[in-house]
Amino acid sequence: MTTATATKLPPSQHEFAEVIHRLEAGGAMLPDTPENLMQIIGIYKAYAVPMDFYWRDLLYIAERVFLNPLPFFKYFLPKEYLELHNHYAGDDADLRIWQKGEATAHPELLAFMEKGETFKMPKLLHHLWHDRVNMEFAEACMQAMLWHGRDMGWGKFDAYLDTPEYKAAADRAIKAYFKGNPLMLGLYKLFPEMFIEQVRQLSYYSNLGLFWEVMAPVFFEMSDLYDSGGIKSVPDAMNFLVNGIFAVAGRPIYHHVYIGGEMYEIIPKSCGFTWLYEAALPYVEAVFYRTAPFRGTKSYNAQVKQIPDEQKDFHYGILYADVFPVGTAGIPPTLLMQDMLHFLPPYLVDYYRQHCRGEDDALIQLGITFQRSMYCVTSAVIQALRGALLYPLDDPNPKHLQANRDFFEKQIDRFRRPEARLRDIQSQNYR
């Protein structure tokens, strides 16, 4: 029924014409090979397990830990949150994305939280030895969203954080939280903006937690489908993501805090914030594209403007990252890579053993695989945006097709700079 759209328009003159044509044919930025597919599905599953921890802990911090001045145990996820039902898995799901899974924490995650990389110890020892899920990565993603919030052009979440309604709601919650604590209340009177800013940060915790609550079952379902043969190609995987994006687009984004048994709505659901506009798109923009400059074994020269003046020109996200572990949170995602290392499916472990330095540098190999997979996710976002805001790929009107192409080209233009890894992922040798 659909004719190949590539024949309706003359070939693109863009530097990445091949990628543009692939997108116009319904594909992804990542080439469609079985090796790529195996890599990305495997890494999605390895990503989803720690993500299960991240979203639960993010919500725990946003909702319960709240303004605790000394949150020493904020990474110690209570049973209540481990058993919190994911809204998109299990029998009582709003929309059951992960068909075979449970709504509570993933069993592999629970097994890892018991033993870590070493052996079964009291939780405190695991925490101090840093033999745990690296929650610092999730917090770094949250900070990226907070820091780039206003400038991104997506959604109304960040603007709402400055409104009087938000401040009033935050004020109520702060007073309730510190009831009976004259020291903190006194500090609040002296420095109200400081506390409100902390609450804003906590709202972003909630935002990111609700975002990832959706992504985890999506990735688990993709892994299950791949294992059972339901996903046979990279475009299949991408289309699953596109459908997932639309299906959950309307999910509300809110910030509820539980203080003394009562729920305080800092950002109520009635604000109308959606998962797509207020969580997913800002997240992609902040974490995939922008983030913050690489910290670690590299210094920057301010005089030659090695760091862009405008935040919107930042290009330090996962799509641009040089995936070498440097130990800091944020991008490059060293901490996430270490988390993913614990949950790799066996076929990926074998695959990494056969290349480069085998097990010794599996960390970097899986980091590069992760980069490929995030290009697939970004392709899904681009295709979803095209689907929402532009025309179908098989639209008969050439002006519409040209509009599509212009949109694709503008998106791919962001990957023309030398740091972008779009070029590298076209080859299988980039490991």
Residues that bind another protein (CB under 8 A): 94-95, 154, 156, 242-243, 246-252, 269-274, 277, 281, 296-298, 322-325, 356-357, 360-361, 363-364, 368, 385, 388-391, 399-400, 403, 424, 430-431
Of 178 and 320, the one with the shorter C-beta distance to another protein is 320
CB of 77 to another protein, least distance (A): 27
Helix (H) or strand (E) holding 363: helix 362-389
Of 31 and 252, the one with the shorter C-beta distance to another protein is 252
CB of 243 to another protein, least distance (A): 4
Of 61 and 280, the one with the shorter C-beta distance to another protein is 280
CB of 92 to another protein, least distance (A): 13
Of 192 and 387, the one with the shorter C-beta distance to another protein is 387
CB of 272 to another protein, least distance (A): 4
CB of 59 to another protein, least distance (A): 18
Of 143 and 365, the one with the shorter C-beta distance to another protein is 365
Q: How many CB atoms lie within 10 A of CB 35?
A: 11
**DSSP-based three-state secondary structure for 259:** strand
Of 167 and 423, the one with the shorter C-beta distance to another protein is 423
Q: In Å, what is the CA distance from 326 to each residue of 47, 295, 344, 413? A: 19, 8, 21, 28
Token readout for 259 is 């203080």
Of 105 and 382, the one with the shorter C-beta distance to another protein is 382
Q: Which residues contact 144 (CB under 8 A, 6 or more apart)?
A: 286, 287, 290, 291, 292, 330
**DSSP-based three-state secondary structure for 113:** helix
Q: In whole angstroms, what is the distance from residue 129 CA to residue 252 CA? A: 37
CB of 67 to another protein, least distance (A): 26
CB of 422 to another protein, least distance (A): 14
Of 146 and 253, the one with the shorter C-beta distance to another protein is 253
Helix (H) or strand (E) holding 263: strand 262-267
Beta pairing partners, 59: none
Q: In whole angstroms, what is the distance from residue 398 CA to residue 332 CA? A: 41
Q: In Å, what is the CA distance from 216 to each residue of 46, 55, 281, 378? A: 10, 9, 17, 16
CB of 360 to another protein, least distance (A): 7
Q: In Å, what is the CA distance from 314 to each residue of 189, 306, 334? A: 37, 10, 20
Q: In whole angstroms, what is the distance from residue 254 CA to residue 265 CA? A: 8
Q: In whole angstroms, what is the distance from residue 43 CA to residue 323 CA? A: 15
Helix axes 135-148, 34-60, angle to 10 degrees: 80
Beta pairing partners, 263: 258
